[in-house]
Chains A and B, each alone.
Chain A
Amino acid sequence: DGGITQSPKYLFRKEGQNVTLSCEQNLNHDAMYWYRQDPGQGLRLIYYSQIVNDFQKGDIAEGYSVSREKKESFPLTVTSAQKNPTAFYLCASKSHGHTGELFFGEGSRLTVL
């Protein structure tokens, strides 16, 4: 089935450690996105990529990094510089054009101990 796969679903890390969240899509979508969601709040854009080997900062990019070496993959690294990393992270993709719907993965819940 076509879709977006995020892993791991749950992740625990100690302060000071970097962690990488995986996002893979087989929808042949050009654009991919990472959002962060805190309890009871909306989604905030971290990074997005409209094409392979190119990505742009969103509203809250500090403390995060991404890469887009393949069309199917858009991993997110939460670095130790991110002051409050505990959150629910959602990856999404969209076909070409700026009016298409977003397809979301099931999310990764990161807890920093």
Chain B
Amino acid sequence: GQQVMQIPQYQHVQEGEDFTTYCNSSTTLSNIQWYKQRPGGHPVFLIQLVKSGEVKKQKRLTFQFGEAKKNSSLHITATQTTDVGTYFCAVISSGSARQLTFGSGTQLTVLP
């Protein structure tokens, strides 16, 4: 399946600080999805990016897809304790297999 590298693996921030996680691929991606998994919970879909250079916002969350469609980022402005969890990127393999491959995730801890 498609391989994606996600960094950092862990991130601790003080409440109110910003946070960014990155996903990188060696090959061009058709699209990329982002999911959030709260501690003890299951992944929940956040967004999908398809177009080169695409930027989407959801309140304090900003998602970007690189111009070359090989990298993506999720940025959270002014983190809150409700942002705690693990953020995963996921990409769909090319061809007809339609497998969704997940990055290793970035575990975010927000200190009050």
Contact = CB atoms under 8 A, between A and B. Distances in A.
Given A31-B98, A45-B100, A104-B44, A99 B92 contact: yes
B105 interface: yes
A1 interface: no
Give the interface residue-count category, chain A: 20 to 34
Nearest to A40: B107
Given A45-B99, A45-B101, A59 B1 contact: yes
A101 B41 contact: no
Nearest to A56: B97
B50 A42 contact: no
Interface of B: 1, 6, 9, 30-31, 33, 35, 41-45, 48, 50, 88, 90, 92, 97-105, 107
Interface of A: 31, 33, 35, 40-45, 48, 50, 56, 58-59, 90, 94, 98-99, 101-107
* Shortest beta-carbon contacts, A-B, top 7: A101-B45, A104-B42, A42-B104, A98-B98, A43-B102, A42-B102, A42-B105
